Amino acid sequence: MFATLRTPDHGSLPKGMSAATLDAISTALAEATDGLSASAAASATGVSRVTARRYLEYLADSGLARRSPHYGTVGRPEVRYLPVRADPAG
């Protein structure tokens, strides 16, 4: 009985993450037509860029988004996140 109280809930979010913020980031990602950078996600949701990146990385690690580098003219490429759409045939 005590072991069930101690086992972690694998369906819950990592410490420090909220469902409301995850929903906001997920919605912004779904509405983005050409991918979403952490800066764009931050602007769309009102969170900091670092927070937006953390949630986008969580979505990517969970298989709900994929990372795509976007190369500009100079410097490090920007990472854009694209939603993983369900296959309508499958």
DSSP 5-32: HHS--TTSPPTT--HHHHHHHHHHHHH-
pLDDT per 10-residue tile (average), the chain, 90 residues: 44 88 96 93 96 97 94 87 74
34-85: CATH number: 1.10.10
pTM attached to this predicted model = 0.80
CA 12 to chain centre: 15
d(CA 49, CA 41): 7
Can you tell me whether residue 36 is helix, strand or coil? strand
CA 19 to chain centre: 12
Domain ranges of the chain: 34-85
